[in-house]
Amino acid sequence: MIGGGPTRLRSPDITLRQLRYFAVLGAELNYHRAAERLFITQPALSTAIKQLEHLVGVALFTRSTREVTLTDVGASWLPRVQEALAGVDGAIGDLSALTGRTGNRIRLGYFLGTGADLLYRLVRHFEAAHPEITIEATEFDFSDPTAGLADGTTEIALTRPPLDLPEHRIFVLDTEDWVACLPRDHRYAGRDEVEITDLLDDPIVCAPASAGGWRDYWMAMELRDRPPTVAAVAATYEAETTAIARGLGISFTTEAIARLYDRPGIVYVPIRGHAPSYIALAWHPASLSPQGRTLIRHVEAQWNFPEGHGEERPADLR
């Protein structure tokens, strides 16, 4: 038992999220892979598992510096938890069927701060043209740049490539220029524009490691000959701009974010000569519902894009 005497457990003490974390770690037996599947950090996963073990009063995993294994109790409990989670998911599906919403909704993910005006236009225009279909939009932060596509939480996402999803299709909606987010007392804060190479030695505020190649892209790793100094890790623009206002470091972002997240203590300076960033819809053709296909066709046929936009881009954006 953990913490001494037996634990009196009430079912409301345990959350579905904790059970899902346990099920994924129990299947992977590797904190790094499990955290990547869950799009959380390894410390966050470790803390959640420890909290669950405290609630149930027993150790579920045996940890060493080399491996993670299930205890006897954990191994016996895992299939029961997997069965319970499948039952919950099935019950939610049944409710959708009973309410007649199964075939009339689209699970759309959108990445934090990505094309906010595009999102509103897309939803309004599509639902006006197809009132029988409802778009259920969910926001995702930097920990999941795929906006739910990677784990199937969503079927279509409005996001900002590159994405680590080589089998998915990308349809570009718009482009944005890169800008540097700097503390107001930064040496280049008064410039009209700046070369990105002049900023590569500055400490940087970056996304969590779970963001994968997207994190590397926004750290401009392709231009560096040595690893950057990471000043802070932030999962939201609020956290990012707060760290920069404190003078901890800089970040690279886009002109749209400069409009949406103008804060005291920071300044945005255009970056000269860098290739633009893309805003795109992304989806997997094999898992797209009929309603999702209707949305994609609507966007391709009806959306008014600036010249040169609204086209598929090469796989290196994915």
pLDDT for 184 equals: 97
CATH class, domain 178-272, is alpha beta
pLDDT at 287: 83
pLDDT of residue 41: 74
CA 13 remoteness from chain centre: 27
CATH architecture, range 11-98: Orthogonal Bundle (1.10)
Task: Note the pLDDT tens digit of each residue in 56-114.
Answer: 999 999 998 778 999 999 999 999 998 988 887 667 656 555 554 445 889 999 988 77
The answer to whether the Cα torsion of 200, 203, 206, 209 is positive or negative is positive
Residue 303, pLDDT score: 67
Tell me how far CA of residue 197 lies from CA of 69, 140, 184, 289, 303, in angstroms.
Answer: 46, 30, 19, 44, 36
Predicted pLDDT of residue 316: 41
**Spans of the chain below 50 pLDDT:** 1-7, 12, 100-102, 305-318
DSSP assignment letter at 66: S
* 22-54 as b/e: b if 16+ CB within 10 A: bbbbbebeebeebbbbbbbbbeebbebbeebbe
Alpha helix locations (H) across the chain? 16-28, 31-38, 42-56, 72-98, 116-129, 213-218, 237-245, 255-260, 290-302
Do residues 31 and 46 touch, judged by C-beta distance below 8 A?
Answer: yes
Q: Is 299 helix (H, G, I), strand (E, B) or coil?
A: helix
Domain ranges of the chain: 11-98, 102-175+278-317, 178-272
* CATH value of 102-175+278-317 in 1.10.1670.10, 3.40.190.10, 3.40.50.620, 3.40.630.10: 3.40.190.10
Indicate if 102-175+278-317 has the same CATH topology as 11-98. Answer: no
Residue 312 has what pLDDT? 44
The confidence score (pLDDT) of residue 220 equals 96
CA 281 from chain centre, in angstroms, equals: 14
Give the CA distances from residue 191 to residues 3, 22, 131, 195, 219, in Å, rounded to whole numbers and listed in that order: 58, 50, 49, 10, 21
